[in-house]
Amino acid sequence: MSLLVVGLNHRTAPTTLLEQASVSGDDTPKVLHDLTAAAHVTEAVVLSTCNRTEIYADVETFHGGVADISDQLSRICGIDLGDLAGHLYVHHDARAVGHLFSVVCGLDSMLVGESQILGQVRGAFRAGQAAGVASSALSGLFQAALRVGKRAHSETSIDAAGASIVAVGIRLAASSLGILSEAPAVPVSPPGGAVSELGDAPAFSTPVVEPPPLAGARVLLIGAGAVGSLAAQTARRAGAAQIVVANRTPARAARVAEMHDCRAVGLADLPHEILMADLVISSTGASGLVVEHDLVAAALPGRGGRPLVFLDLALPHDIDPGVRALPGVSLLDLEALRVALDGAQVAHDVEAVRALVSTEVAGFLDRRRAGRVAPTVVALRAHADAVVHGELARLQSRLPDLDDREWELVEGAVRRVVDKLLHAPTVRVQQLAGAPGGDSYAEALRELFDLPREVPAVVSAPDLDLVERS
């Protein structure tokens, strides 16, 4: 048995393909049933979000498992496997563990550090448990992943990394629009309306109360994923007068619009919305340009000379870099934000989480290797106990005159001899199990002592409540 993950995400596939690959909650049980009904998949969990669809599985063989899972993804997407294969990634055993731990910590998200993925992973695991296809192998993996995710979000400031990028981007955009520099000074009167010594006018202190960065601005959001939702929230807090959400899928645009009191439109409405907007924030994850040079150029004559700022949070870019050459148009992208952002703190948080993931992956793999050896040790002890029991029975029949005290001494001596002979190899094999190739020592024990291939498994039942409370 081995762990396997096959999937596609915002880094490997365009938005249209990710939408085709999406698996709804209602469809999940059937997908899980079809997966485990395949020849090489024994357990499965399906993780499907707006930015990824991944299948985690315990498989009999690597190549057979990849083939079964890839075929299932091909059926979900409704496209030929040959066309889909170039967008898929495959991670096996240690790399599969590392990938899941990185995903649940937000390191693999479009918006680095976003915490929503933690709940999505928990939901996917629960769906697998409910379907009865996430048990011994995957339950341990997902319990460990959820603990790592909670540690990452509670012990570091990784949550703030993505939020910082959006917040800094909006402040820079506001500055480019001139909203900050043109804001009127608002004098603040001291308590009691203090009067100057001349007695003619109130004396004022504290020169200004700064208005919100986007006070009165009209904002167009293109994309309704996690980044778009955070951008809507941040723009609303920054004082935007009007926010419009445009997305390829109307239902997703409507969902974000409802959450943040916005208006939802389709991508076909972009020409009109760009004409009206002051700030355009794009984060679709599309594989090609969403806003091209000619689309922006066509909108400029009707804008009356108002400045227009684009904030491109997508990777690869959504906005044609050529719009920078258009009069009155500014473009901010992720590279510009990295320069303005306190990159040292963000980098520190990301590196801290990566170090945490690395340590936790090593620990999980050590425990898994030791767990694989444990059934062999149990089988060896059971085999020895059966041999001792049989030999003592024969000895007792040959020495019927021994009293209880004498028999107790004989039985104790035999069992101590066996225990001492087995102690060193069983302890040592468990120590060696944590090293690379540790499984080979258990295999050697099975061969040397002629143990059955099917050995009792030591499995602990998952307790998701403990995961959530930890």
Among 83, 69, 88, residue whose Cα is nearest residue 31: 69
Residue that finishes a domain, picked among 140, 156, 172: 156
Residue 324 and residue 380 share a domain: no
Q: Say if 427 falls within a structural domain.
A: yes
**Could you read off the pLDDT tens digit of each residue along the chain, which spans 470 residues?**
689 999 999 889 887 888 899 998 899 999 999 999 999 999 999 999 877 999 999 999 999 999 999 999 999 999 999 999 999 999 999 999 999 999 999 998 877 787 788 999 999 999 999 999 998 889 999 999 999 999 998 998 887 776 667 888 888 888 888 764 444 444 444 444 443 333 444 444 444 445 678 988 999 999 988 888 889 999 999 999 999 999 988 888 999 999 999 999 999 999 999 999 999 999 887 778 999 999 999 999 999 999 999 999 887 789 999 999 999 999 998 777 766 665 556 677 888 999 999 999 988 987 777 666 767 778 888 888 888 888 888 888 888 888 889 888 988 898 899 888 888 887 777 777 666 666 677 777 778 778 875 544 333 333 333 333 33
Q: Which domain holds residue 244?
A: 210-338
- Residue 76's Cα: distance from chain center in Å? 21
Residues 6+ apart with CB under 8 A from 114: 106, 159, 162, 226, 230
Residues 6+ apart with CB under 8 A from 88: 6, 7, 8, 12, 70, 73
Per-residue model confidence (pLDDT) at position 196: 38
Q: Say if 173 falls within a structural domain.
A: no
Residue 8 and residue 142 share a domain: yes
Q: Say if 143 falls within a structural domain.
A: yes
Residue 143 and residue 220 share a domain: no
Residue 134 and residue 25 share a domain: yes
Residue 334 and residue 377 share a domain: no
Residue 152 and residue 40 share a domain: yes
Q: Say if 181 falls within a structural domain.
A: no
Q: Say if 183 falls within a structural domain.
A: no
Residues 6+ apart with CB under 8 A from 109: 51, 103, 117, 162, 226
> CB of 324 within 8 A of CB of 330?
yes
Residue that finishes a domain, picked among 319, 338, 357: 338
Per-residue model confidence (pLDDT) at position 309: 96
List C-alpha distances in Å: 219 to 222, 314, 357: 10, 17, 38
Residue 237 and residue 100 share a domain: no
Q: 221 has which bridge partners?
A: 245, 281
Per-residue model confidence (pLDDT) at position 453: 59
Q: Are strands 308-312 and 329-333 parallel, antiparallel or unpaired?
A: parallel
3-state secondary structure of 222: strand
Residue 437 and residue 301 share a domain: no
Q: Say if 360 falls within a structural domain.
A: no
Residue that finishes a domain, picked among 156, 188, 223: 156
Residue 112 and residue 26 share a domain: yes
Q: DSSP for 148-213, please give it.
A: HHHHHHHHS-THHHHHHHHHHHHHHHHHHHTHHHHPPP--BPPTT--B-TTSSSB--BS---PPPT
Among 324, 331, 327, residue whose Cα is nearest residue 310: 331
C-alpha–C-alpha distance, residues 79 and 242, integer Å: 40
Helix (H) or strand (E) holding 333: strand 329-333
Rg value, the chain, Cα: 31
Q: Say if 227 falls within a structural domain.
A: yes
Residue 228 and residue 315 share a domain: yes
C-alpha–C-alpha distance, residues 444 and 33, integer Å: 36
The sign one gets for the Cα dihedral 459, 460, 463, 466 is negative
Residue 228 and residue 150 share a domain: no
C-alpha–C-alpha distance, residues 11 and 99, integer Å: 14
Per-residue model confidence (pLDDT) at position 339: 67
Q: Say if 204 falls within a structural domain.
A: no
Among all residues, which ones are annotated catalytic? 50
What CATH number has the domain bearing residue 32?
3.30.460.30
The number of distinct structural domains making up the chain is 3
Residue 246 and residue 148 share a domain: no
Q: What are phi and psi of 257, to 5 degrees?
A: -60, -40
C-alpha–C-alpha distance, residues 364 and 141, integer Å: 8
First to last CA, the chain: 29
